[in-house]
Amino acid sequence: MTGSGPHGRIIKADVDKAQPASPQAKAAAAAPASAPAAAAAPREHKSLEQMGIAPGSYDLIPLDGMRKTVARRMTDSFRDVPHFPLTIDIEIDELLAARAKINGLLEKTGVKVSVNDIVMKACAVALMKVPEANASYSPEGIAMHHHADIAMAVAIPGGLITPIIRKAETKGLAQIATEAKDLAARARDKKLKPEEFQGGTFSVSNLGMFGIRTFASILNEPQGCILSVGAGEKRPVVKGDQIVIANVMSVTLTCDHRVVDGAVGARFLAAFKEMLEEPLRMIV
């Protein structure tokens, strides 16, 4: 308030003419002079009508608890975790031949090993070879996990869930295939126990069966990495001085840069690539 009296004094007329301060101004005045600038306010969520969608032109499906949880977790992860992708191409002719032979040996047991089962086993072995990639960030320090607990993304009505193959580095392909099939079935029936989908040290998301060639996933906290697996397809590759046709699969590793840097991510992918291109390395 500016005074209009002698020597700038505030008089009754000044008070009578003064306008009440806005709530924002009052808050600013009450803040200590040394206080840092306030953080940006959360983005205001507008209605569809406010964003130009005509009323009555859509059907609204209410959000259930799972969809709300997935939306919150993915928003938090994408906003708060500094992550980056690394992509590599892998020739999988040897993998496909090994899978066919393995399934022939398992035919009488009724167990069938999928490419994704082999991918999860290869991830587990590679994490043991590059333990820095099997880690989680926390404010107290970097957690170096003792085992490779591989979470696999499973699409279910209303969202996504990630059941976990615990200690995958200690299990054979037949056991991983059996557990993965059981966990996926119970996930779709919403019969998983919390300990079967909470935690994990590393995630695998496979969209190859939908024809997706390459993609990058959002990190599933507190895991330090997630591997996105694309479709295997015939592509021309250079071998020596010749162009030949090979089955190639692209994978992308998304890393939490607070715990896994580019060099560690690259070393993990190199170890993983070796496992898939020469599957016998998984048991050596």
Tell me how many domains the chain contains: 2
pLDDT at position 197 is 92
Helices (H), 81-114: 93-106
**Sign of torsion, CA 49 55 59 62?**
positive
Known active-site residue 45 = no
Listed in sequence order, the residues at least 6 apart from 170 whose beta carbon sits closer than 8 Å to its beta carbon are 147
Residues 158 and 258 both lie in one domain: yes
Beta-carbon count within 10 A of 174 CB: 17
Of 246, 151, 163, nearest to 201 by C-alpha is 151
Interval 193-247: pLDDT, tens: 989 998 899 999 999 999 999 999 999 999 999 999 999 999 999 988 999 999 9
Q: Is 90 helix (H, G, I), strand (E, B) or coil?
A: strand
pLDDT (average), residues 95-121: 96
Q: Specify the pLDDT at position 31.
A: 47
- Model confidence at 10: pLDDT above 80: no
In whole angstroms, what is the distance from residue 187 CA to residue 192 CA?
6
Q: Distance between CA atoms of 53 and 12, rounded to whole angstroms?
A: 53
By residue range, what is the domain housing residue 38? 6-60
9 pLDDT exceeds 90? no
Same domain, 48 and 88: no
In terms of domains, do 276 and 218 share one? yes
Domain assignment present for residue 258? The answer is yes
> Catalytic pick from 7, 146, 147, 257?
257
Q: Give one word for 272, left, alpha or beta, with left for phi > 0 and alpha for psi -120 to 50.
A: alpha
Q: What is the pLDDT of residues 177-196, one digit of tens each?
A: 999 999 999 999 989 998 99
State CA 148 to chain mean position distance. Answer: 16
Residue 205 one-letter amino acid: S
Q: How many whole angstroms separate alpha carbon 10 and alpha carbon 14?
A: 6
Query: Which DSSP category does 283 fall into?
Result: G
Map 121-149 to HEC letters: HHHHHHHHHCHHHCEEEECCEEEECCCCC
- More reliable by pLDDT, 116 or 159: 116
Q: H-type helices in 109-252, by residue range?
A: 115-129, 173-188
Q: What percent of the chain has pLDDT over 70?
A: 86
169 & 265 share domain = yes
> Looking at the domain assignment, is residue 233 inside a domain?
yes
25 and 149 housed in the same domain: no
Q: Is residue 230 part of a domain?
A: yes
